[in-house]
Amino acid sequence: MAAPTSLRDIPQSHIFRKGDVFVLFGELFGRGYANGLVNEARAAGMTIVGMTVGRRDENQKLRPLTAEEHAEAEANLGGKIINVPLMAGFDLDAPEGEPTPTDLLAPLTLKSWQDDKLDWAQIERCRAVGVQRFKDSAARAMAELDGLVPDGSNVFFAHTMAGGIPKVKVFLAIANRIYKGRGERFMSSRALLDSDLGKLILMNFDEVTANTFQYLIDASAAIRGRVEATGGQARYTAYGYHGTEILIDGRYQWQTYTNYTQGYAKKRLEDVAKAAWEKGIKATVFNCPEIRTNSSDIFVGVELSLFPLLNALKHENGGAWADVQRQACADLLKDGVSLQDLLDQIESYNADGVITEFRDFDRWPMDNSPELAEVMIGTSEAITNLHKERTALVTDLLSALVLEGTGPLMFREAANPAGPVLWLNHDVIARQLNQLHN
């Protein structure tokens, strides 16, 4: 049986310093995972360079950032942003004058989508255009980056791209049902995957979430070769997701959010890192825990695995600081609701037979089921209702902590990585946080 390869010890290596360059391949959002790495790079005194996905004009044509947008993005990152649009995926690409995949999806309705067929020859033409556009843009961006990387310096490429949901009304309605629906509103993720619409979406996920890591590795070959020839080193990291070990019943156990439709693309991302590694390129996918960000908020229930982090902080010898976190979480709950009751509720959720059935590493990513939706979405709603405010949740606080813990773990491990695919579970994250704060 395959098993996760987990980082168990806090890494001690450190090679990045002032004069070295940190490159963020993707945009930086307030709650996004990438903040953890950017903070480490800044603290190490590295030169920070970012990319943009660009923006779309009123005709959906991709354009660079305006001067104002560019200045705002650079202030947000605290570094230079190379203004070449790196929007991945092909949902809005097509040969000149021909329909894009988004155009092909326009006639689909909530009634018809499961039987609607797509023109795969046309989709393949669009995919080819989108891939070439991205590769050409990545080459231009790397040519600009080249001038910012001194000979002999170390370069850290941090890939953060994930996504690829086409912006069509019908899919927003379907996604709302698959990820948020229970009872009469439940929708099967298998029905989506078996449809032409689902097949197209998976192809687009592959492009955005996985293939861009390969394109980055390829496009930066010249920079990698030059720094290595002059005494420096190049490293590549990407954020994966493939379930997480959390404390359940007193021991760390692997669990996952279901249905994680992007899971196929995340497996492909792991394969990209493995293939690069075999060629001697130090590329590592760090499979990270579930947190709440702009990208994950659509998955109702994904946040439930965060609560046991409070137990992990204690379990890993957390001191006064861990107690303060626990109290800060307790303060977010309604009067009369105890944090222990909430944690007990999560413990019984994790012991529920409907949920344990999905703890099957070999069959990941599994399809959802009406029973799962009932228990998971029901628990998520019940727990949210225990808070004073829906806008200040325990999982906001815990997400920020996980993000903070992953920063130094990934930054240090990337200096001397143990392999191409590593899991960061609640054990090592809790230990890292306790070490940072005690």
Residues in contact with ligand NAD by CB under 6 A are 26-27, 29, 32-33, 53, 86-89, 160-164, 208, 239, 241, 288, 290-291, 293-296
Task: Show the 3-state SS of 368-397.
Answer: CCHHHHHHHHHHHHHHHCCECCCCCCHHHH
Min CB(162)–ligand NAD separation in Å: 3
> Can you spell out the DSSP letters for 343-354?
HHHHHHHHH-HH
Residue 129's Cβ-count burial label (10 Å; 0-12, 13-18, 19+) is: middle
Of the pair 283, 288, the CB lying nearest ligand NAD is at 288
Cβ distance to ligand NAD smaller for residue 211 or 325: 211
Q: Give the residue nearest to ligand NAD (CB).
A: 32
State in angstroms the smallest separation of the CB of 326 from ligand NAD: 22
Round to whole Å and give the CA distance between 103 and 101: 5
Residue with tokens 């930086």: 28
- The span from the CA of 381 to the CA of 251, in Å, is 26
Nearer to ligand NAD, 73 or 227 (CB): 73
Q: How far is the CB of 97 from ligand NAD (least distance, A)?
A: 23
Q: Which is nearer to ligand NAD, 232 or 408 (CB)?
A: 408
> Which residues make Cβ contacts (< 8 Å) with residue 391, sequence separation at least 6?
none
Shortest Cβ 295–ligand NAD spacing (Å)? 4
User: For residues 86 and 386, which CB has a smaller minimum distance to ligand NAD in the complex?
Assistant: 86
Task: Give me the least distance between CB of 122 and ligand NAD, in Å please.
Answer: 20
d(CA 80, CA 48): 7
CA distances to 204, 248, 279, 346, 426 from 255, in Å: 26, 9, 32, 13, 11
Least gap, CB of 86 to ligand NAD (angstroms): 6
Closer by beta carbon to ligand NAD, 26 or else 405: 26
CB of 319 to ligand NAD, least distance (A): 27
- Asked if 409 and 430 count as a contact pair (C-beta separation under 8 A), the reply is no
Measured from the CB atom, the residue of 227 and 429 that comes closer to ligand NAD is 429
Determine the Cα–Cα distance for residues 256 and 89; give it in Å rounded to an integer.
26
